[in-house]
Amino acid sequence: MHELKVESSFSAAHHLLNYNGECENQHGHNWKVEVYVRGTQLDKSNLLIDFKILKKELNNVLDILDHKDINTLEEFKGISPSSEILSKFIYIKMKEKIPFIYKVSVWETEHACASYFEE
């Protein structure tokens, strides 16, 4: 089994719904995103997937979120856009293009992240 990881980042504002604390107020993060893919089949160049392709697809998804108020995006209407929800959103969007995606981790600080993967 081979596993690859790429990282990228985006900046955006959000606020948590149904939350009692500072994060119920609008605030921003510089999120770091890690995308992992896994597989056993390598191509003729012995690559699982070209890092450039994986990074391009990730950045296409992050463009939806970057420098936005996430709460106002149609995909998040009425949903509390936590790091957990953002990791799932990115995973689902990436899976449309990269079917062997394994996991997405979204870091809202350098010490705290949420990950999403399917069993």
- At 98, which CATH number? 3.30.479.10
Q: Contact 115/105 with Cβ under 8 angstroms?
A: yes
For the chain, give the mean pLDDT. Answer: 97
Write the pLDDT tens digit of every residue in 43-63: 999 999 999 999 999 999 999
pLDDT at 119: 84
Beta bridge pairs of residue 117: 103
Q: Can you read off the two tokens belonging to residue 106?
A: 């979204």
Local structure of 90: helix, strand or coil: helix
pLDDT at 28: 95
User: How does 7-30 read in b/e, with b if 16+ C-beta sit within 10 Å?
Assistant: ebebebebbbeeeeeeeeeeeebe
Structural domain range at position 7: 2-117
Residue 84 has pLDDT above 90, yes or no: yes
* The CA-based dihedral angle spanning residues 87, 92, 97, 103, taken in that order and rounded to the nearest 10 degrees: 50
60: left (phi over 0), alpha (psi -120 to 50) or beta: alpha
pLDDT at 34: 98
**Number of domains present in the structure of the chain:** 1
Q: Can you read off the two tokens belonging to residue 98?
A: 């990269």
